[in-house]
Amino acid sequence: MLFRQFFERESSTYTYLVASRQGGEALLIDPVKEEVARYLQLIHELKLKLVFAIDTHVHADHVTGLGDLRNETQCVTMIGSGSKAECVSRKVDDGEALRIDGLELRAMYTPGHTDDSCSFVMSDRVFTGDTLLIRGTGRTDFQNGDARAQYKSLFSRLLKLPDETLVYPAHDYKGWTVSTIGEERAHNPRLKVSNEDEYVAMMNSLNLPNPKLMDIAVAANLACGVR
């Protein structure tokens, strides 16, 4: 498999390029608008055909590259079916399989960080968006975030994946690049709660400042980052 992890410094966002081989079909997860030229360069150099560009949720901290990528490559843009981003070509339902040649991803609806958050599961890895971060979890205090829903997404869905499943989140602020479900269950401080109420109380006491770009980014992302 061909797998690349891009890092965007301003918002500490990870973007993933996945394909089964050079010259084959590819997909991008959580592309950032300012980085689109770089993705297209690599796609061109590896002779890939971009089939899907996917956002795990409507982001509040950066503008999505979905619209620009669709304009440049005619790829299909996608987000979870709970999303208000009506600009996408297609919305994916919980459990739906996305196929490109030689590869399959399954959408897993994991709300909580936002009401439209989806994870995408492959045989050996999961793209968790901002639902599960490395040694953290995504904030739940805006965009219809819901700590109770996130608790269920974490404990009833993501943590049910096999322990060895690789975890690739949408962000990291400390330099982690990858983890596993087993490692997060054992060492993620946010998962050390004994019940849902305890998790909700912890998330409700975080008092985080809003992201710098929030007002601009959410509005732009509901239009896929293009006017």
The single-letter DSSP state of residue 191 is G
User: Closest separation between CB of residue 203 and Fe ion, Å?
Assistant: 14
Residues 56-115 close enough to bind Fe ion by CB under 5 A? 59
Q: How far is the CB of 99 from Fe ion (least distance, A)?
A: 26
Per-position x/- string for 7-46, each x denoting binding to Fe ion as judged by CB under 5 A, each - no binding: ----------------------------------------
Q: How far is the CB of 25 from Fe ion (least distance, A)?
A: 27
Q: Which stretch binds Fe ion (CB under 5 A): 27-35, 123-131, 180-188, 213-221?
A: 123-131
By beta-carbon proximity to Fe ion, the closer residue of 18 and 170 is: 170
* Backbone torsions φ then ψ of 7, nearest 5 degrees: -120, 130
Question: What is the distance of C-alpha 98 from the center of its chain?
Answer: 15
Are residues 217 and 224 in contact, defined by beta-carbon separation less than 8 angstroms? no
Closest CA to 217 of 5, 77, 17, 34: 34
CB nearer to Fe ion: pick between 57 and 125: 57
φ, ψ for residue 54, nearest 5 deg: -125, 135
Q: How many CA atoms lie within 13 A of 130 on its CB side?
A: 27
Q: Is 130 a residue that touches Fe ion (CB under 5 A)?
A: yes
- Which residue's Cβ lies closest to Fe ion? 130
> What is the size of the binding site for Fe ion (CB under 5 A)?
2
Nearer to Fe ion, 33 or 59 (CB): 59
Q: How far apart are CA 63 and CA 122, in angstroms?
A: 26
We find the least distance from the C-beta atom of residue 61 to Fe ion, in angstroms, to be 6
Contact 185, 162 (CB under 8 A): no
Q: Whose Cβ is closer to Fe ion: residue 128's or residue 188's?
A: 128
In the bound state with Fe ion, the residue whose beta carbon lies nearer, of 19 and 113, is: 113
Instruction: Pick the piece of the chain touching Fe ion (CB under 5 A) from 15-23, 126-134, 196-204, 217-225.
Output: 126-134
What is the side-by-side strand order in the sheet with 13-19?
2-8, 13-19, 25-29, 49-54, 76-80, 90-92
CB of residue 213 vs Fe ion: minimum separation in angstroms? 11
Q: How far apart are CA 167 and CA 185, in angstroms?
A: 11
Question: Shortest Cβ distance from residue 114 to Fe ion (Å)?
Answer: 7
Residues 6 or more apart in contact with residue 55 via CB below 8 angstroms:
29, 30, 64, 66, 77, 78, 79, 83, 85, 88, 221
User: Considering beta carbons, is residue 116 or 130 the nearer one to Fe ion?
Assistant: 130
Residues at the interface with Fe ion (CB under 5 A)? 59, 130
